[in-house]
Chain A
Amino acid sequence: MSLDKLEINNLLDTLEASLRQTVAQRGLANPLMVGIRTGGVWVAEELHRRLGIAAPVGLLDISFYRDDFSQIGMYPNVKPSQLPPNIEGRDIILVDDVFYTGRTARAALNEIFDYGRPRQVVLAVLIERLGKQIPISPDCVGRNIALSPEQRVKLSYPPLAIQIESQGRP
């Protein structure tokens, strides 16, 4: 499936609109935008520019917080997370590229709460695909799609582009 059809800019427009609405509804003040490495950071940077947020994008590498260490082991090339030292009472917009099982979002929330207690967290994702396994859902979504389990969404950057790949392909 060619994701040119998904037209990345349309997805970003939808996500931006939804996010603006949520920011207003929930009264987010001086929000901190945090991207989950790697794809989430790219999306966060784009949204950060569109929303004109002052504070720089925070980076989160959730590899050490995953729940599959005992099945899979270490992830290579883990980079340090970069969050402001004090996120106590802050409003956070957590951004990822794809929401699937919900486990990444769970790990990200755990890591964020190790840094402090934010006032609220909004989860924004470019794509939500069916298959969630835990009771966590995104607040703002660029687009919902249904994919079969062997398919995976792959982002590349720059420029931001999406492709759907079928696993098992060389």
Chain B
Amino acid sequence: MIALQLTTEGRLKHFLTVEGLSRNLLTEILDTAESFVGGPGQPIKKVPLLRGKTIVNLFFENSTRTRTTFELAAKRLSADVLNMSIATSSTAKGESLLDTIRNLEAMFVDMFVVRHNISGSAHFIAQHTAPHISVINAGDGQHAHPTQAMLDMFTIRQIKPDFAKLRVAIIGDILHSRVARSQIQALNTLGAAEVRVIAPKTLLPTHVESLGVSVCHSLTEGLKDIDVIIMLRLQKERMASALLPSEAEYFKCFGLTESKLKIAKTDAIVMHPGPINRGVEIESSVADGPQSVILRQVSNGIAVRMAILSMAMQPQGGG
């Protein structure tokens, strides 16, 4: 899995998961993203780096933020972009995934950006696609969402540059969250002082400690000494079984309110990968408050995805 992502020279070929990637490579992604950001508040300039390349956004699952920022990132790099929402296309007519891929390959595409509701889909495509094509995972099932994790790391580093000093709390539906998994891996690789997950037992995977996190079941206790608060969306659509008494009950125990926010460090930042459920996991006044960097995360998504697209599109086989 790790070997699949890198060339023999250790360069990024596919970006499927943060797991197993070195601190150097993650830092290189963040540094490259930095170079695309013009300055504070400045729009990102269009550069001719990927002119003539074709990138296909292959989305088997709904997404607004991720797809649009991937599209903007590709366009800022001067690549041509095709957006395919597969629910409305050939697979609905019975075409297999690999046949869809083969057909797109025949159109001389250079990269697939894949979002799928089944874990491992991006790996599967990376294993079976033509060797010159790169695959970027834009979220697969409950497994990974590595570009989201990297834009979160980028946002954290912009505000709090030294990961070694940071205590980070990830709060909410860890069980169903591919974002949380990728964030935990990235934070540990970058050397965060502590990654703390705060959630009811029913929303934590078994043996969650093995991911390298400390565990807390109370928000009021867990927020102490925290520098970075990452709220997760309560994934109602994945909540098949009765894991929670009610949304109101959940908000009472695990919703981030202004008064609970005061328990964390005074300069703590509040993050959320979106979309947010106001009044379910986060109070509106916190989401829109001065400590929130939620919209900054969205802006940073463009530069970070530009970095990942261009790094994966580098010539292979040395040079």
Given contacts A73-B11, A74-B311, A78-B32, contact A64 B48 (CB under 8 A): yes
A132: Cβ under 8 A from any B Cβ: no
User: In the complex, are the beta carbons of A77 and B47 less than 8 A apart?
Assistant: no
- Among residues 20 to 79 in chain A, which have CB atoms less than 8 Å away from a CB atom of chain B? 61, 63-65, 69-74, 76-79
User: In the complex, are the beta carbons of B319 and A110 less than 8 A apart?
Assistant: no
User: In the complex, are the beta carbons of A78 and B315 less than 8 A apart?
Assistant: no
Across the interface, A71 reaches (CB within 8 A) one of B35, B47, B310, B319, namely: B319
Given contacts A74-B32, A74-B311, A80-B35, contact A64 B49 (CB under 8 A): yes
User: In the complex, are the beta carbons of B319 and A114 less than 8 A apart?
Assistant: no
B238: Cβ under 8 A from any A Cβ: no
- Among residues 100 to 150 in chain B, which have CB atoms less than 8 Å away from a CB atom of chain A? none
B10: Cβ under 8 A from any A Cβ: no
Given contacts A80-B37, A80-B39, contact A71 B45 (CB under 8 A): no
> What DSSP secondary structure best describes chain B's contact surface?
loop
CB distance from B154 to the nearest CB of A (A): 15
Complex CA distance for A77 and B34, rounded to whole angstroms: 9
Interface string of B203-245 (1 = CB under 8 A from A): 0000000000000000000000000000000000000000000
With a cutoff of 8 Å between Cβ atoms, the chain A residues found around residue B46 in the complex are 114
Complex CA distance for A80 and B32, rounded to whole angstroms: 10
B31: Cβ under 8 A from any A Cβ: yes
User: In the complex, are the beta carbons of A73 and B314 less than 8 A apart?
Assistant: yes
With a cutoff of 8 Å between Cβ atoms, the chain B residues found around residue A114 in the complex are 45-46
- Among residues 9 to 57 in chain B, which have CB atoms less than 8 Å away from a CB atom of chain A? 11, 28, 31-32, 35, 37-39, 45-50
User: In the complex, are the beta carbons of B315 and A70 less than 8 A apart?
Assistant: yes
With a cutoff of 8 Å between Cβ atoms, the chain B residues found around residue A74 in the complex are 32, 310-311, 314
Residue of B with least CB distance to A66: B49
CB distance from A127 to the nearest CB of B (A): 27
Given contacts A114-B45, A114-B46, contact A73 B37 (CB under 8 A): no
User: In the complex, are the beta carbons of B319 and A72 less than 8 A apart?
Assistant: yes
Complex CA distance for A60 and B11, rounded to whole angstroms: 27
With a cutoff of 8 Å between Cβ atoms, the chain B residues found around residue A65 in the complex are 47-48
Given contacts A72-B315, A73-B314, A73-B319, contact A110 B48 (CB under 8 A): yes
Residue of A with least CB distance to B48: A65
CB distance from B175 to the nearest CB of A (A): 37
Residue of B with least CB distance to A85: B42
With a cutoff of 8 Å between Cβ atoms, the chain A residues found around residue B28 in the complex are 76
With a cutoff of 8 Å between Cβ atoms, the chain B residues found around residue A70 in the complex are 315
User: In the complex, are the beta carbons of A78 and B49 less than 8 A apart?
Assistant: no
CB distance from B132 to the nearest CB of A (A): 12
With a cutoff of 8 Å between Cβ atoms, the chain A residues found around residue B35 in the complex are 61, 63-64, 77-80
Complex CA distance for A80 and B44, rounded to whole angstroms: 10
Complex CA distance for A2 and B314, rounded to whole angstroms: 37
Which B residues fall within an 8 A CB radius of A? 11, 28, 31-32, 35, 37-39, 45-50, 310-311, 314-315, 319
Q: Which 6 A-B pairs have the closest CB atoms?
A: A73-B314, A78-B35, A64-B47, A64-B49, A80-B38, A71-B319
13 A-B pairs in the complex with CB atoms less than 8 angstroms apart: A64-B35, A64-B47, A69-B49, A69-B50, A69-B315, A71-B319, A73-B11, A73-B319, A76-B28, A76-B31, A77-B31, A78-B32, A80-B37
Beyond A69-B315, A110-B48, list 17 extra A-B contacts (CB 8 Å). Answer: A61-B35, A63-B35, A64-B35, A64-B48, A64-B49, A71-B319, A72-B315, A74-B32, A74-B310, A76-B31, A77-B31, A77-B35, A78-B35, A79-B35, A80-B38, A80-B39, A81-B45
